Structure 1
Amino acid sequence: MELDMAGLAALYATLDAGVATALAGLQLPSVRLRAPEACASDAAVTRFGGVPLVGADFAWPRTEDGRPLCLVGQWHCDEVNTWVGAAVLPAGTLLAFFFDVDEQAGWGLAPQDARLWRVVAADAVTAAPARVPDGAVTFPARCMAGRRVLSMPDEWEPVIRAVWAKDTPAAWAYQRLQLDDGPGPVHRIFGWPDLQQGSMHLDCQLVSNGVDLMAMRGYGDDPRVPGLQAGAADWRLLWQVDTDEDGLGWMWGDTGVLYFWIRSEDLAAGRFDRVWVILQG
């Protein structure tokens, strides 16, 4: 959630110094996105929809049964780095984000769901527009505008539950800090996700390591879970794409949200082929 900074400062003043310090350490920078205007479908900018700009060896990603995935959007990493205020992404690179928009045949909770998305990197100088295959769902290109904000964990995140009990006065005050930016989708890059259901860090860690969460009644059903749990902290939100039927023409599940996740080490190394996606809603 995005921060009401004045409210957060007032909350800190009521807390034990150690608790306030722990809470302040959870703040993460985030980029809040909007799509103010249409742009060329093959523009070399950060945009929703359009046609991907790709390298010469590009093959359009498809599901196992041959259906072409859809381009959700493209990032120009230099633009995103400017919005973030740090060189987090590889310079001079375009990232194309694909997903199974047509059937949305999985929620990212089973290992086989990995066939439903792809993130493809290309050199921004030499990339050229891809030919869109027959049957691919496409969306009009809308350029993104980003502004840097600070985000805090949702009240349901385990790191917040570790700070205080659910129904304490501090917990209620924390719930009231979320900014109300009015109606409209919440698209964001990095930071803490706006949850539709539960926390996703452990889900990403388990399912990306072969644990089928759709087949489990609880995490305790699989003996691999204890050995994998520590790695949940390595996962971070890459891109949160909200339902936007009126502006962009898509809906995830039942007015849900699409979340692209990546391990910190993979982000630092530019290994975007290891992204994991979860759909909530």
Structure 2
Amino acid sequence: MQLQEKNRIKLERQLKDNGFEHAINYLMETTRQGVRCAKAGETDYIKPGRSRVGGDPDLPPQFAWPLTSDGTPMTFLAQLNMCDVAKHDVNELLPKTGMLSFFLGIDEPAYNIEHRVIWFDETEVLTAVRREPSGETALEDTYVGYDLEARPSLEPPGYAYVDMEQVENDEVTFGEYDDLFYEIRDQKDGDIIQLFGYPTEQHDDSEYEAALMILTGKEYEYSMDKALDEITAHFGGDKTKAKQEVTDMQMLLELETDDDVGFCWWDAGVLHFFIRKEDLIAGRFDRTYCSLYSS
């Protein structure tokens, strides 16, 4: 997705002000447009359907609480009111109305984690009410609910995805790029959710892992080449199509560890939800992939 003109102007100014003229073309091309959600105070549950992280979900009366494969209630993570969130999605990929809700099973192992992503239409959101689980959920803990406030963001490539040769030169170190990275993102203290952009990782292979499982049902064996071969075979030998699938893979949501809410993903890591661009446009939230990264 090309940057909006106002974002191009803002990013170009930041790059020049910080001495990164040599990397302008590269970072203009690779910086993505996303949405960030920050905590906006503990929820009071007075108005159902508001964007929320932690606590209890708002669900339509007849909707059955999502269960894991062994019948355990999944743990509610977050709900995003699309009227509030999608207006900040300059990529125009998210549903414009309704609500996206995220539930999780046991967060072990760190790949192919059992989960549910559910879109409720605007009629269902109007009937939704606070619902508590019938018993202990998969993560065996309770979490404090916080309202969320969304805003647009710029997301340059981080450690795992950046081309060091493009951003470093004789005068600029990677440490200086790291400072610029956080300045461009304009990250706030209360940020807990990121939609789109780049996943927080040590390696740049999360999209391969997600695409492989969603398309073929096979687990990733820590080889991008092998994953690409499997995806290519899925498309009848069309390697161009396979590469495009990986390129188009979207990070639907990244959820941070947060002391206020009570989330802690292993050693203070992050939780990732991925979706194919084609499925996102079609509203196929039953075709998502969940994984966890922790250093």
TM-score range, shorter chain: 0.7 to 0.9
Residue 120 in structure 1 maps to residue 127 in structure 2: no
Normalised to the residue count of structure 1, the TM-score between the two structures is: 0.79
Q: Using CA pairs under 8 Å that are at least 6 residues apart, name the structure with larger relative contact order, 1 or 2.
A: 1
**Which of these residues, 23, 30, 49, is aligned with residue 26 of structure 1?**
30
Superposed, which structure 2 residues align to 1:1-281 within 5 Å? 6-10=13-17, 14-15=21-22, 20-41=24-45, 43-55=48-60, 57-84=62-89, 87-100=92-105, 103-108=106-111, 113=112, 116-123=114-121, 124-136=125-137, 137-157=141-161, 160-161=162-163, 164=165, 168-169=169-170, 172=174, 173-179=176-182, 184=189, 186-199=191-204, 200-208=206-214, 209-213=216-220, 216=221, 218-219=223-224, 224=230, 227=239, 228-245=242-259, 247-281=260-294
Q: Would you say the 8 A contact 1:12–1:20 is kept in 2?
A: no
Deviations 1:39-58 (A, max 9, x none): 23473110112332334552
* Deviation of 1:205 (Å): 1.2
Distance 1:242 1:207, change over 3 A: same
Using the TM superposition, give the Cα deviation of residue 166 of structure 1 relative to its aligned residue in structure 2, in angstroms: 8.3
Unaligned regions of 5+ residues in structure 2, if any? 1-9, 233-238
User: Matches of 1:85 and 1:61 in 2, distance apart?
Assistant: 31
Would you say the 8 A contact 2:199–2:272 is kept in 1? no
Query: How far apart, in 1, do the equivalents of 2:230 and 2:90 lie?
Result: 39
CA separation of 1:166 and 1:22: change in aligned 2, threshold 3 A: closer
Alpha-carbon RMSD = 3.1
Gapped runs of 5+ residues in structure 1?
A: none
Letter in 2 for 1:255: A
Counterpart-to-counterpart distance in 2, 1:5 and 1:59: 49
Taking the aligned partners of 2:190 and 2:272, their CA distance within structure 1 comes to 13
Per the alignment, do residues 57 and 79 of structure 1 end up closer, same or farther by CA in structure 2, a change over 3 Å counting? Answer: same
Cα shift readout 1:223-269 (whole Å, capped 9, x = no counterpart): 51555444211111111111012x10110011100111111111111
Letter of the 1:126 counterpart: T
Give the 3-state SS of the residue equivalent to 1:253 in structure 2.
coil
